[in-house]
């Protein structure tokens, strides 16, 4: 089976869309599928990273979509600037690539693409899967996946064709196999209710350098002498050196890591995470990792609110880009850590990618 992914990463977009596509690609590759990626060369792209994972990447030149070259299609999309060109141009470039591959599945994970682009590509592939979080635009696809906790199928009513299968919720969260592997160990060690290892991870980019603010606040926090802090950043983040300097000033052992390949193990051995309300939320939930959560984008609001209501996270307040309350003192008291861990663990079991893979395989067979 040939599978083509259309997704991008950049300083503005972040890395989450590419990373969850890679998770699915790895699962597909293990079953013998050949996976290809189409990515635009935005600043902060992950093209080299995808190549190192063993996948062929077809590169599209970077560009910028300004008001003067927006057409009627783009004007309705809130994230149109993320594409770097018009949907018409992007679809032409993508057709030139996939017409030779003839994929059974075209998988799209991009907020700047909708049914206009998908219809253009329709005749060049057997089936289309769209990965989305927003429910804010129409799609033309066989399967739509929205792994947002609390998302309802009705949110996509009139946005997808009648034949489309809509998969909603964390049952289908795309996590690498390592997370389900470390789940039992992670949940067991949390019974101690200790706070001796804090993990700070605000995604692959952290374009506003909130990590430095967090380290400044932690410096004044009432943490035990035995505590240690680990910061994980993406290799494309522009703030790595600045964060390393902040880490050196902390009164506890602190390490700044990039290019991490054992994230599940690292999370499983952490007692508290400070992180964003993106797709990493499901990784933390799978491992029952209590979280102080920051909302860094409008599309993260629903995730954050639902997780807070479930008792799985404690939301950190932001005011004009500044952190006003980190609440480490609250989290470390009584049984707060254990209660948050238990609530989080009920939300995601880490097997979503395997469930989706079965559906993709069955849908492909039905079309034969």
Which domain CATH number covers 198?
A: 3.40.50.2000
- Looking at residue 349, its pLDDT comes to 96
* Among 136-150, 183-197, 243-257, 332-346, the least confident range: 332-346
313 plus 292 within the same structural domain: yes
57 plus 205 within the same structural domain: no
Phi, psi of 105 (to 5 degrees): -130, 135
Residues 115-154: tens digit of each pLDDT: 999 999 999 999 999 999 999 999 999 999 999 998 999 9
- Looking at residue 72, its pLDDT comes to 55
84 plus 105 within the same structural domain: yes
Q: Which CATH number goes with the domain that contains 34?
A: 3.40.50.11190
Q: Diameter of the chain by CA atoms?
A: 63
* Residue 70: pLDDT over 60: no
Residues 232-277: tens digit of each pLDDT: 998 888 899 999 999 999 999 999 999 898 999 999 999 999 999 9
* Residue 368: pLDDT over 50: no
Asked whether 128 and 149 are in contact (CB, 8 A), the reply is: no
167 plus 70 within the same structural domain: yes
Model-level pTM? Answer: 0.87
188 plus 332 within the same structural domain: yes
Count of domains for the chain: 2
12 plus 77 within the same structural domain: yes
155 plus 196 within the same structural domain: no
- Looking at residue 299, its pLDDT comes to 78
267 plus 133 within the same structural domain: no
Domain residues for 192?
177-345
153 plus 64 within the same structural domain: yes
Average pLDDT, the chain: 91
Q: What is the mean pLDDT of residues 73-88?
A: 84
pLDDT tier, 68 (very low <50, low <70, confident <90, very high otherwise): very low
333 plus 187 within the same structural domain: yes
* Residue 14: pLDDT over 60: yes
253 plus 170 within the same structural domain: no
* Residue 364: pLDDT over 70: no
188 plus 71 within the same structural domain: no
Asked whether 277 and 246 are in contact (CB, 8 A), the reply is: no
């Amino acid at each position: 089976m040939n599978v083509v992914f259309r997704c991008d990463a950049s300083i503005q977009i972040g890395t989450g869309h590419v990373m969850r596509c890679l998770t699915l690609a790895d699962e597909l590759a293990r079953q013998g599928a050949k996976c290809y990626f189409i990515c635009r060369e935005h600043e902060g792209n992950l093209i080299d990273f995808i190549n190192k994972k063993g996948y062929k990447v077809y590169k599209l030149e970077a560009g910028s979509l300004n008001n003067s070259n927006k057409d009627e299609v783009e004007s309705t999309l809130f994230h149109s600037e993320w594409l770097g060109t018009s949907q018409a141009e992007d679809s032409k470039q993508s057709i030139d690539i996939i017409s030779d591959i003839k994929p059974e599945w075209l998988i799209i994970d991009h907020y700047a693409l909708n049914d206009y682009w998908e219809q253009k590509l329709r005749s060049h592939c057997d089936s289309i899967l769209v990965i989305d979080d927003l429910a804010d635009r129409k799609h033309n696809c066989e399967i739509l996946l929205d792994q947002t906790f609390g998302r309802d199928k009705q949110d996509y009513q009139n946005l997808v064709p009648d034949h489309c299968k809509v998969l909603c919720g964390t049952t289908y969260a795309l996590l690498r196999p390592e997370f389900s592997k470390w789940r039992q160990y992670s949940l067991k060690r949390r019974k101690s209710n200790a706070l001796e290892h804090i993990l700070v991870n605000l995604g692959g980019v952290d374009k506003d350098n909130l990590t430095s603010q967090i380290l400044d606040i932690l410096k004044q926090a009432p943490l035990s002498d035995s505590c240690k802090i680990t910061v994980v950043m993406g290799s494309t983040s522009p703030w790595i050196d600045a964060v390393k300097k902040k880490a050196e000033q902390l009164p506890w052992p602190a390490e700044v890591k990039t290019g991490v390949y054992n994230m599940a193990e690292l999370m499983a051995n952490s007692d508290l995470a400070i992180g964003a309300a993106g797709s990493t939320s499901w990784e933390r939930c799978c491992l029952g990792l209590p979280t102080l959560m920051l909302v860094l984008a409008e599309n993260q609001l629903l995730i954050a609110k639902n997780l807070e209501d479930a008792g799985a996270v404690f939301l950190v307040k932001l005011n004009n880009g500044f952190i006003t309350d980190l609440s480490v003192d609250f989290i470390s008291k009584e049984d707060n850590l254990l209660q948050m861990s238990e609530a989080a663990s009920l939300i995601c079991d880490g097997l979503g990618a395997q469930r989706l893979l079965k559906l993709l395989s069955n849908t492909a067979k039905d079309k034969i």
